Structure 1
Amino acid sequence: MSTQATAPIGVADEENSHLDATRSRAIRRRSLKLLGSLLRPHRVDFTLAIVLVVVGQAARVAGPALVALAIDRGLPAALDGDWGPTWLVAGGYVGAAIAAGACTAAYIRMAAKVSQAVLLDLRQRVFRQTQLLSLEFHESYTSGRIISRQTSDLEALRDLLDSGITSLAQGFLFMAFTGVSLFILDWRSGLVLLVAVGPVWAITRWFQKRSQVLYRISRVASARLIVNFVENMTGIRAVQAFRRERYNEQVYGGFTEDYREISARTMRLNGVYDPGLTLIGNVTVAVALGFGAFRVLDGSLEVGVLVATLLYTKRFFQPVRDMAMFYNAFQSASAALEKISGLLEEVPSVRPPARPVALPSAQGHVRFDDVTFGYGSGRTILPHLELDVPAGQTVALVGSTGAGKSTLAKLVTRFYDVTAGAITLDGVDLRDLSTPDLRRAVVMVTQEAYLFSGSVRENIALARPDASDEEIERAARAVGAHDFILDLPDGYDTDVNKRGGRVSAGQRQLISFARAFLADPAVLILDEATSSLDIPGERLVQRGLETLLANRTAIIIAHRLSTVAIADRVLVMADGRIVEDGPPAELIAGSGRFAALHAAWRDSLV
């Protein structure tokens, strides 16, 4: 019988609630810190905007008081033949209106200037951060989520900064100035308004609590839609190949239905709040009118003051609806800011060295010294790996899927850092090597052979944008890509993503080889670079490979053993260990794993 003590359910719930509250406060502080850092460079413009909105709203609130003055002072004077006070009040009213309009216009322009600068800064920060984060992050954080950060989340912040803050600042100041003016003009009428504030606060608080939940759910539903759409468009070939269109349509339809339902619930919430607010405002005006009318009759309140109090009471409730709508935008933007600040808080798992060691002319000697590695907290992939690859040697890695070949390649390129041990290049630990020298010395070519939007010339010059046309063409000639490039509609200036500029898988691979040749690395890694090619395409690429690998260290990962034939040395991997090591001919003549693999491959060609 177990004697282990367990916490009561209520205590556990309380602890979880405390942890959730602590986490929420931490996230809120992180978001506010980000917002502060974005506004700090624009504090002068931001301060000026605050001054403009204060002056503008003060001038706007002056109107009813001037109307009262005109009725109670200007009109009697005019009846006695003295139009001076009337014209003076009229001039003051026009001046206040002009001041309010001018300050509001200037404030809106200033706010737009600040908001656009903040959004530009934030957009660049998000892009810069996603570029700097390690491969480990990108392999776990889907591209759809990153796109959501750059699109819908930034759009929510734009709505907040462009109009939401304007509504809040203007509404809050207008209500404050209106209430103060009403109390100064007639404190008894101010008490009527003060009593009405209670129901307004209650219904607004009710609305805020429910809209906060709905808008957070709405942000999640919106992000889910974007992620699903991006994944389907990215994998459209697989979708059509496996006839997944109808199923995907049903899944996407479910997501859109969820989003529609959330939007409908939000509209129903607004359908209760707006009429409720209007009802409270009208009842308050009616009470103020009845109370004021009795006082006018007994002579304790002037007619002009009554008119002004009614105007103030009516106007007082106008910004409440806008401020409540701002709260919706605020909740949406707050959730977006939390996600963006979380992304910006991510720390690269592979960090630049504190004291980088320069290696301007690498020779290509790679050594694994008792290297152990595992992804995150998962199992160990490479246990205590020892490997020495002399400069200029071509090494082929073979083995079954999951043997650790691609992991080894990712460690050499320092997409990941080793868990224990060290990998050195010409005696320098990769973790100490300066990032520019490492990227210049080690280049990987993958099977995807990704081509960016732009011309063939720009794609070849990816690693060296300053390369001359002669250098680019020399690289293409060296790997056998020059002739087919010239056959394209615009030659080297053909846009690879436009009609007529499409190239085959083998041609894409040759362009990527030309790119690597132009980069001229000391160590070249080919991660199954020919696995997606047919036999003619492979032969075309094979000739380019022989030129590409000359006079440099090369690590080739290949399932096709035809690619292995050009290697000086073959490493057979199993369970993260090197189980065979030797020249191809020597291993083929033996009776080990590579000999069996070679025999199976040869039989498959018969």
Structure 2
Amino acid sequence: MTTFGTANEENSNLSRSESKAVRRRSVALLGSLIRPVRLRFWLTLGMVVLSQATRVAGPAIIAFGIDHALPSLAAGKSFPLVLAGVMYVAAAIATALLTAVYVTSTAKLSQAMLLDLRIRVFRHTQRLSLEFHEKYTSGRIIARQTSDLEALRDLLDSGVSSLASGLLFMLFTAFTVFALDWVSGLIMLATGVPAYFLARWYQKHSQIAFRESRVASASLIVHFVETMTGIRAIKAFRREPQNAERYGELTEHYRKVTVRSINLNGIFQPGLVLIGNVCVAVVLLVGGFRVLSGGLAVGVLLALILSTKRFFQPVDQMAMFYNSFQSAQAALEKVSGLLEEVPTVRPPKTPVPLPEARGQIDFHGVEFGYGNGKVVVPELNLHIPAGQTVALVGQTGAGKSTLAKLIARFYDVTEGSLTLDGVDLRELSTADLRRAVVMVTQEAFLFSGTVADNIALGRPDATREEIETAARAVGAHDFIAALPDGYDTDVNKRGGRVSAGQRQLIGFARAFIAAPAVLILDEATSSLDIPSERLVQAGLSNLLSGSDSGRTAIIIAHRLSTVETADRVLVVHDGRIVEDGSPAELISGGGRFARLHGSWKESLV
């Protein structure tokens, strides 16, 4: 599988076998986009063929008018000339109508394909596992949805139809020239040899240039997204000049690779025009002598010159759209690479139903390592009864969050099994798993929308009364009621109208209303100040116990005030459970937890 990421994108000089594989993958993607609209595609192509056939008829009709209709008119017969005029006008009208129809049809076709691709990219990106999103930058994914799809839009909207119509026009014109005079046809055919080699040279060099351009464009987007996302840190550490300098370097690189592609086109396009003009001159010279010798009619010579000149008319347009094609081809390679990524956490083919989970968690000989890296969780056997509140403590990097991610099935265990109520997590449907297990993270991300919408994220059908009950339970109601529009206040992007602590309280309310069997709090109180932390303790106790039989809770925290409410403490070190017991037992035992607890007590003095 081709990996979508920085290393792959920066390696623009692919080997020949890799390039072929990438092209096959891109063509397969394009074919899958055409398949649902193939009827419109073939109808549009048919209209393109007809429009170009009527377009090339003009010179042949002119030849008929000069060599046959005019002599007939001199003999007193006007019908052939009238017929030639009517045929010419009819061909022009047919060309205009067919062109208008295929242009609008192409626009509808391209928009349908782009809609399909946009939705496909978005849905696939959502389906990809957390491992993918933690490994690759969001800027590169944004580049796939923005600049790359825009490059494809430019090609599909007009580039493909222009390329197809240009090629068909040149093909039909060549047939017309051969039909009128095979000698002139051979001359025109001979000019195709230098044109072919020029096109091959351009294709080889521009393909590299446009790949580099897509990479440079993605790097610009990545830097911009990272800068805007981390703007607080940038301002706090006065990094604006360095970031601007770096952005300038990336912009300059993008300018250079873009200019390189423009320079290539500056050789390719004039070269094709020169070949076309030379061809017209040779046809005129050879044909002129043949007219003088009586071997060629004047009308035919005029038709040949017009046809030969018109033969090279689409070349300029095709050269321009070839740039779009190269850019779109590079973009298609990137998008197809993203769509080729396979989720490492996949839903089961035949899931085991678990409509009402109790919350019992069991690790049976579990081992885990990120990707192909070393094992970070050695063989682990652990039983957590339903309804128990368990605190995971330990130094940074000990493996606490890794265990939480395994329980939430953001990652799959490498060896062994991890079960919920006796069912392996890998055998549960995504709906049952997400309903049973909810994680509240340190970030407490809020989406654009109202406060009520954010609380009801896990239960969109929740009533306003249920939303307010959840907010009261975790101590969030008072500050929400004080907002400009209360629960209908728009929190804006990333919760701009509420503080970090308030975002966390909304996250607790969100978890409360979801009513999961297993609740994971991953450093979820780290954003709260001391007054807010005290305020949330009572609501947190209610959140952990629930209104009926209680729920299983996994608490990861450095602030041990939350840990004190736990039934059981697990001390994690290097992915292993080194201490297991109640808070009181471990404090009296004088081990790692006792030392952590002592240090925490001292920090409060």
Conservation of the 8 A alpha-carbon contact between 2:448 and 2:494? no
Alpha-carbon deviation of 1:204?
A: 2.3
Correspondence list, 1:348-427, <5 A: 348-427=343-422
1:294 aligned partner: 289
Determine the C-alpha separation between the residues in 2 that align with 1:342 and 1:131. Answer: 15
Which position in structure 1 is the counterpart of 2:110? 115
Alignment of 1:159-178 (within 5 A): 159-178=154-173
Aligned equivalent of 1:314, options 306, 309, 314: 309
CA offsets 1:154-179 (integer angstroms, 9 cap, x no match): 11111121112112111111111101
1:206 equivalent to 2:221? Answer no
Given candidates 245, 248, 251, the residue that maps to 2:246 is 251
Alignment match, 1:267: 262
The SS at the match of 2:536 is: helix
Contact 2:357–2:517 (8 Å) recurs in 1: yes
Matched residue, 1:599? 598
Q: Determine helix, strand or coil for the equivalent of 2:566.
A: coil
Instruction: Select which of 175, 179, 182 maps to 2:177.
Output: 182
RMSD: 1.6
Paired residue for 1:230?
A: 225
Q: Which moved more, 1:536-545 or 1:397-406?
A: 536-545
Q: CA deviation at 1:272?
A: 2.0
State the secondary structure of the residue aligned to 1:464: coil
Say whether 1:47 aligns with 2:42. yes
Comparing 456-465 with 467-476, greater Cα deviation is found at: 467-476
Deviates more, 1:286-295 or 1:116-125: 286-295
Looking at structure 2, the residues matched to 314 and 97 of structure 1 have their Cα atoms a distance apart, in angstroms, of 18
1:499–1:258: structure 2 CA closer, same or farther, 3 Å change rule? closer
Q: Which moved more, 1:384-393 or 1:508-517?
A: 384-393
Deviation track 1:407-450 (CA, whole Å, cap 9, x = no partner) reads: 00000000011111111111111111222111001000001010
**Aligned residue in 1 for 2:492:** 497
Bigger Cα displacement from structure 2, 439-448 vs 186-195: 186-195
SS at match of 1:370: strand
Q: In the TM superposition, what is the alpha-carbon distance from 1:500 to its structure 2 partner?
A: 11
Question: Which deviations, in whole Å up to 9, do the C-alpha atoms of 1:344-396 show, x marking residues without a partner?
Answer: 12111111112211111111111111211111111111111121111111111
What code does the residue aligned with 1:558 have? A
TM-score, normalized by length of structure 1?
0.94
Note if 1:59 corresponds to 2:54: yes
Contact 1:159 1:329 in 2 (8 A): yes
**What SS does structure 2 have at the residue aligned with 1:344?**
helix
Equivalent residue number for residue 532 of structure 1? 527
Structure 2 CA distance for partners of 1:501 and 1:450, relative to 1, 3 Å: closer
Q: Which residue of structure 2 lines up, in the alignment, with residue 73 of structure 1? A: 68
How far off its partner does 1:194 sit? 1.8
In structure 1, what is the Cα distance between the partners aligned to 2:142 and 2:363? Answer: 37
1:339 aligned residue (305, 325, 334): 334
Residues 367 and 388 in structure 1, CA contact (< 8 A), matched pair in contact too? yes
Match of 1:101 in 2: 96
**In structure 2, the residue corresponding to 1:431 is in which secondary structure?**
helix
CA distance in 2, matches of 1:573, 1:487: 41
Cα contact 2:447–2:494 (8 A) shared by 1? no
CA separation in 1, counterparts of 2:215 and 2:495? 40
Q: Could you state the TM-score of these two structures normalised by the residue count of structure 2?
A: 0.95
Whether the 8 Å contact between 1:183 and 1:190 is mirrored in structure 2 is: yes
Amino acid at match of 2:446: L
Contact 1:488/1:501 (8 A) holds in 2? no
Match of 1:13 in 2: none
**Matched residue, 1:303:** 298
Secondary structure of 1:208's counterpart equals helix
Question: What are the superposed Cα offsets for residues 517-543 of structure 1, whole Å, 9 maximum, x if unpaired?
Answer: 110001100000011222122223323
Return the alpha-carbon distance in structure 2 between the equivalents of residues 312 and 500 of structure 1: 65
The aligned counterpart of 1:127 is: 122
1:498 positional shift: 7.5
| Counterpart residue number, 1:581 | 580
| SS of alignment partner, residue 465 of structure 1 | coil
The residue type equivalent to 1:118 in the other structure is: M
Q: Is 1:541 matched with 2:536?
A: yes
Post-superposition CA distance 1:235-257 (Å, at most 9, x none): 11121111111111111111110
Structure 1 unaligned blocks of 5 or more? 1-18
Aligned equivalents of 1:23, 1:295: Cα separation in 2: 53
Aligned residues: 588
* 4+ long deviations beyond 4 Å: 498-501
Aligned residue type for 1:258: H
State the shift of 1:454 in Å. Answer: 0.5
**Contact 2:445–2:495 (Cα < 8 Å) also in 1:** no
Deviates more, 1:517-526 or 1:102-111: 102-111
Question: Does the CA contact (< 8 Å) of 1:368 and 1:424 recur in 2?
Answer: yes
Match of 1:457 among 452, 462, 474: 452
Deviations 1:565-604 (A, max 9, x none): 1111111111111111111122222211111111111111
Q: Alpha carbons of 1:547 and 1:500: their partners in 2 closer, same or farther (altered >3 Å)?
A: closer
What does 1:450-489 correspond to in 2, within 5 Å?
450-489=445-484
Q: In the TM superposition, what whole-angstrom CA distance separates every residue of 1:300-345 from its partner, at most 9, and x where no partner exists?
A: 2211111111101111111123223333222221221122112112
User: Residue 552 of structure 2 corresponds to which residue in structure 1?
Assistant: 553
2: CA distance between counterparts of 1:177 and 1:499? Answer: 59
Q: How far apart in 1 are the matches of 2:131 and 2:349? A: 21
- Partners of 1:504 and 1:273 lie apart in 2 by 58
Deviations 1:214-268 (A, max 9, x none): 1111111111111111111111112111111111111111111011111112222
1:211-222 alignment runs, 5 A limit = 211-222=206-217
Q: Is 1:150 matched up with 2:145?
A: yes
Q: Which amino acid is the alignment partner of residue 212 of structure 2? A: I
State the AA in 1 paired with 2:526.
Answer: S
1:200-219: CA deviations, max 9, x gaps? 22222222222112111111
Decide whether aligned partners of structure 1 residues 25 and 498 sit closer, same or farther in structure 2, where only a CA change above 3 A counts.
Answer: closer
Structure 2 contact 439–522 (Cα < 8 Å) conserved? yes
Residue 428 (structure 2) aligns with: 433
Unmatched 5+ residue regions in structure 2?
1-13
Question: Separation in 1 of the partners of 2:291 and 2:88?
Answer: 25
Q: Cα gap change, 1:384/1:26 in structure 2, threshold over 3 Å: closer, same or farther?
A: same
Contact 1:406 1:557 survives alignment (8 Å): yes
1:499 Cα deviation from its structure 2 partner: 12
